[in-house]
Structure 1
């Protein structure tokens, strides 16, 4: 009994010491993240923003080395979007860096626990080439600012659907649904679970690995989870006339809505659904033109 008690006491002391160190690290790094997170958006010259962004990423990568980073309160760091899964095994941080000419760099960090409950952190590198039909690694991530995370099961395992915004270029913006699959000791983005033949004037020869809705950078569009619909709802965007089909810089909402319903472990597209949009989509901001629709209040949570 005495030996067991000593081992238990030692374990509690070790965990407490680890927690104290993690909290101390957070308190030291947090003010620097707040400062440089604001500067990488607001500084007028690109090389100045790049310097602030480099310091911001360096501090963020230091912070996520500790497992406790999964639960930190990121709310004071206003340029970060933070999404956590229902099973508390995934936390994803994403943000944007403004570039000259109205372009943006998308940056992400994934924190997760594997099947053995071991903690990992992975930097996500925006290097996607519009891969509709293949999975992507963290080094070829389809970058974006995530604003919601929806957990489902495929073949008995948890998969995580990510709703995101991406500034494709100054004229075309995008809302998208991507998939995070952590099975078989891998990190994979994309899964062919979209039972869709045509969407956004694209015809799919097979099930795509992710779904993208592109539209004019001058407007905003809805793509969000709806509890009332029990699925994902989105504006139906289209060109002003048939001659401009495929010119997404001219696409905009036509006042009808489409939906994605989860059935038989696939997303199925439903056209012209009945949906009352009683929320206001915020206008594009000067520094971070997200145009995000209100989502479930999960961002920036934590202790």
Structure 2
């Protein structure tokens, strides 16, 4: 039913306020994206997405996004298409400039499974044919890594802050650490450690910044956990169990 409605050329300006799914529209009016999920047996999730894209002649094209999380092996670097989508429930969109025109940050949530949840910072661009492409190497981590998307994984029973702060021009997020050094790289033991990091927009790239001072007295500070002091890389660079010392 939703697909049929969105295929209508007159639907682009309809707010769809009564539909309880993710709905975002780009500030430049180029596209809208709708995302939702259906729980599966065993605590897993299936995600669905539809994107309305406005063509240069003003007509509207509807594009389906295909959940392909299980087939993506290098999430931090792969450039993906609508048929190969790093699925998530999108809840915030940020437009920013690049050398090739506007690009768009998409912040999303993935319930994943019974043990871990994920949050994602993805980048949406459009190719010369107007087709959506996900992933763009704009995340500068210490001048050492240039990543196309950022993926966080953490214990399913805790919550993680990931939001764009317009005043700071920064994507702010909880720094995630394991509950004990021996669990480094095992994300079901990860949670916020009381500090915040971010990606700050500088020109056409997002630069990683550590230990942001948010000074928000309304938010209680979580109890810190013992992060492994011998691991210098931020948690979103970890490979599952790569650093684990468990026998």
TM range (shorter): 0.7 to 0.9
5 Å-filtered alignment, 1:39-50, equals: none
Q: Which residue of 2 aligns with 1:146?
A: 90
Question: What is the CA distance between 1:64 and its match in structure 2?
Answer: 1.2
Question: What is the CA distance between 1:94 and its match in structure 2?
Answer: 0.4
Runs of 4+ in structure 1 deviating by more than 4 angstroms, as ranges, are 277-281
Question: What is the CA distance between 1:115 and its match in structure 2?
Answer: 4.2
Specify which structure has the higher proportion of helix: 1
Question: What is the CA distance between 1:90 and its match in structure 2?
Answer: 1.1
Q: Structure 1 regions of 5+ residues with no counterpart? A: 1-58, 199-204, 282-303
Determine the C-alpha separation between the residues in 2 that align with 1:89 and 1:251. 37
Q: Which residue of 2 aligns with 1:90?
A: 31
The reply to whether residue 239 of structure 1 matches residue 178 of structure 2 is yes
Equivalent residues of 1:157, 1:183 under 8 A apart: no
Q: Which among 203, 206, 211 is matched to residue 267 of structure 1? A: 206
Equivalent residues of 2:9, 2:59 under 8 A apart: no
Q: Structure 2 regions of 5+ residues with no counterpart? A: 221-247
Q: Which residue of 1 aligns with 2:141?
A: 196
Q: Which secondary structure does the structure 2 equivalent of 1:70 belong to?
A: coil
Equivalent residues of 2:81, 2:132 under 8 A apart: yes
Specify which structure has the higher proportion of strand: 2
Structural RMSD (CA): 2.0
* Cα distance per residue 1:71-115 (max 9 Å; x no partner): 21221112x110011011110000110112211111110111134
* Cα distance per residue 1:198-221 (max 9 Å; x no partner): 9xxxxxx74221111111101100
The reply to whether residue 105 of structure 1 matches residue 46 of structure 2 is yes
Q: Which residue of 2 aligns with 1:201?
A: none
Determine the C-alpha separation between the residues in 2 that align with 1:147 and 1:278. 25
Q: How many residues align?
A: 216
Q: Which among 164, 180, 184 is matched to residue 225 of structure 1? A: 164
Determine the C-alpha separation between the residues in 1 that align with 2:18 and 2:217. 29
Q: Which among 73, 79, 88 is matched to residue 15 of structure 2? A: 73
Structure label with greater radius of gyration: 1
Calculate the TM-score normalised by the size of structure 2: 0.82
Q: Which secondary structure does the structure 2 equivalent of 1:67 belong to?
A: coil
Q: Which secondary structure does the structure 2 equivalent of 1:62 belong to?
A: helix
Question: What is the CA distance between 1:197 and its match in structure 2?
Answer: 5.0
Determine the C-alpha separation between the residues in 2 that align with 1:277 and 1:178. 26
* Cα distance per residue 1:21-49 (max 9 Å; x no partner): xxxxxxxxxxxxxxxxxxxxxxxxxxxxx
